[in-house]
Amino acid sequence: MTPDLLFAIDWSQVPKHVGEALFSGDALIMNGVARKIGTMRTLKHMPFRPVQFDSFTDLPGAARQLQNLGSLVQTTTSAIQTALAVSTAFTIGTVVVATAYLADKLRELEAKIERIEGELRGQNLLFYASKASAYFGAVEATRELIASPELVAENSDLAAHALSRLAAQRHETFAFLGNLFRSFEELSSVHQALALDFFHATLDFVPKAVFVEVQAAYKLERFRLGVHTLKSARTTYDGCLAEYKAWVKARIKSIIAGNPTGTAQIVLERLQDAKRLLDSEENRLLLNCSV
């Protein structure tokens, strides 16, 4: 990790009319540039300041501590909250794109896939797991292509080709996630534990993958595509989370009622993992804030 590569938005240097456009939703930040919605006209290249980022354990918390809201101290609470959310999302996004954070997460996922392969040879779950693995591998390859302006300029054709594949792979992964936890009841308890661990890791990875996909669109100046991708992925992801949350609640209720379902105990043992995923501010910011 190289903390000196990371930057935060310096709101004290943002003109008032640009800030007001961003806070009202009339403008969005795309690839570090404030642009008017609709026309995509450039309003302001956002000012940045370097930050020291020594810990990646709590990305949202650490990012918030680095923010300097400057001239926003006299504005409305909602504007401050918007600025803080955008700032935090930008810093988290910088970590995702500019460091080995994504590669580390991918290695963790691949280790889980290897465990599943060892236990579930010949089952359909492996086919879907391989689809998810292919998507995340493609995301990491795309991240490398957009890691610097020089790489984007030299390899815009490769980045565009990668971007064209990511949308289909993202939809395949969402379909996999939607089917995975509903198949838990058909597995043995050992397999259920492996599948649920993989499900949590995969669902946690998706917002970072979507962020890279959106950034690739922005860096290729496909701004409307980036905005559409962000909105579409957020809607699908929120629906997946809501469905999973209801599924978890049903299993917890079955325990309370004294009539636990087959997966209830596995869910209870991993309840903190489920809560961490469902309440992840890091993922919410990456899917809600255009930067």
Q: 144 and 75: one domain?
A: no
- Classified as helix, coil or strand, 90 is helix
* Band of pLDDT at residue 180, cut at 50, 70 and 90: confident
Number of independent structural domains in the chain: 2
Domain boundary among 82, 98, 114: 98
Around Cβ 40, how many Cβ atoms within 10 Å? Answer: 15
Task: Tell me: pLDDT of 4 over 60.
Answer: no
For all residues of the chain together, what is the average pLDDT? 84
The 10s digit of each residue's pLDDT in 41-94 is 999 999 988 877 666 666 676 666 666 665 565 566 777 788 888 888 888 888
Q: With contact defined as beta carbons under 8 Å apart, do 228 and 214 qualify?
A: no
Domain boundary among 56, 74, 98: 98
C-alpha 209/C-alpha 275 separation (Å) is 21
- Report, as an integer, the average pLDDT of 212-241: 95
Q: 92 and 106: one domain?
A: no
Q: 152 and 268: one domain?
A: yes
Residues contacting 250, CB < 8 A, separation 6+: 261
The 10s digit of each residue's pLDDT in 85-99 is 888 888 888 888 877
Q: 114 and 209: one domain?
A: yes
Q: 132 and 268: one domain?
A: yes
Residues of the domain holding 192: 101-288
Q: 84 and 107: one domain?
A: no
* Band of pLDDT at residue 1, cut at 50, 70 and 90: very low
To the nearest 10 degrees (0 to 180), the angle between helices 281-288 and 77-98 is 100
Q: 73 and 134: one domain?
A: no
* Beta bridge partners of residue 49, listed in sequence order: 8
Q: 158 and 258: one domain?
A: yes
Domain boundary among 98, 131, 152: 98
The 10s digit of each residue's pLDDT in 14-40 is 898 998 899 899 999 999 999 999 899
Q: 89 and 143: one domain?
A: no
| Best CA proximity match to 214, nearest among 158, 146, 132 | 146
The Cα-based distances of 85 to 5, 14, 17, 139, 253 in angstroms read 21, 16, 19, 24, 34
